[in-house]
Amino acid sequence: MQHPLKHHLTLTLLALTSLSHFPPASPLTPCRTLCGTTAINYPFSIDDGCGAPQYRSMMNCTGTDLFFMTTSGRYKVQSIDYNKQTMVVYDPAMSTCSILQPHHDFVMTDVESVVIPPSSDTVFALLNCSIDSPVLNRYKNLCFNFSGHSCDELYGGCNAFRVFRSFTNSSPPCCFTGYDTVKYMSMNILDCSHYTSFINVDGLKGIGPADWVYGMKLSYAVPDTGCGRCTRSGGACGYDTETGVMMCLCSTSMNATRECGKKLILD
């Protein structure tokens, strides 16, 4: 019969040997990194206190869908390109070539307009404008030629927009313009009944509106806060929710100012 002490030592050695085959535990940061299949990386976050404070409360994860939040609604995130620092969103209340939606404004907060505005290759089309519209009179310089496309092409090539020609058998005025126009003037002031927007406009010459990509591409900058040092140490970049001071979030019970230490308290 084996001595009890020897038996205990044998079991202890076996347990230690087994543990040595498992990789060391990694820090459990309080920041989620996925919404559905969309990666959530710095500077964005879906948890308060994570990411950069400039982008606080801009993202919402509902089920498997990620939304960009503004004062005028929720805009579904189609994709995020972290290399090019762009995000494509879609306005579910926006008119497109295939559907005519009720009157709607696209409004961003002052902070959003600065840190993540629509990119230069996003064009807004103001549709069914009155002849008294300011963009056709005093501010007509805000309208520009868009890759040789015309209002007639939009009204004739899109099933949803043909209704605008049904009463007069002619195309009402429209205006191709940039984000700054809809930023400073509402649809009521613009005196246009609907709008649509499309992206990657440099590649749309000679392509009909039925094949345009409808949505908005937003361009953002990544704050330089030394975030790489934090992530390399196993943490996630975040901030103090009261002061806005950047922090390295190492676990749900331990944070650091720059990087996570070698010994972390795990929950």
Whole-number pLDDT of residue 19:
29
Please report which confidence band the pLDDT of residue 229 belongs to, taking 50, 70 and 90 as the band edges: confident
Burial category of 162 from C-beta neighbours within 10 Å (exposed 0-12, middle 13-18, buried 19 and up):
middle
Q: What angle do CA 47, 28, 243 make, to 5 degrees?
A: 45
Q: What pLDDT band is residue 65 in, cutting at 50, 70 and 90?
A: very high
Maximal CA-CA distance, the chain = 104
Contact 204, 122 (CB under 8 A): no
Compute the distance between CA of residue 205 and CA of residue 250 in angstroms, rounded to an integer.
50
Helix (H/G/I), strand (E/B), else coil: 68? strand
* CA separation for the pair 104, 82 (Å, rounded): 30
Q: Is the peptide bond before 134 cis (omega within 30 degrees of 0)?
A: no
pLDDT at residue number 87? 97
> Which single residue is written with the structure tokens 């939009």?
154
Dihedral over alpha carbons 139, 145, 149, 150 (to 10 degrees): 30
Residue 225: partners with Cβ closer than 8 Å, 6 or more residues away: 52, 237, 246
pLDDT of res. 23 = 33
pTM above 0.85, yes or no: no
Q: Given a cut of 70, is residue 13 above it in pLDDT?
A: no
Provide the 8-state DSSP code for 27. Answer: P
b/e map 50-86, b = 16+ CB within 10 Å: bbbbbbbebbebeeeebbbebeebbbebbebeeeeeb
Burial label, 204 (beta-carbon count in 10 A; 0-12, 13-18, 19+): buried
Task: Kindly report, residue by residue over 160-211, the tens digit of the pLDDT.
Answer: 999 988 777 788 999 999 999 999 999 999 999 999 999 999 889 889 999 9
Residue 259 CB contacts under 8 Å (≥ 6 apart), including other chains: 229, 230, 232, 233, 235, 248
Cα separation, 120 vs 200, in Å, equals 9
Angstrom distance (rounded) from CA 255 to CA 238: 10
pLDDT mean over 217-246:
88
Structural domain boundaries of the chain? Answer: 29-83+222-260, 93-209
Mean pLDDT to the nearest integer, 97-125: 92
Residues 195, 193: Cα–Cα separation, whole Å = 7
Structural tokens at position 151:
């209002």
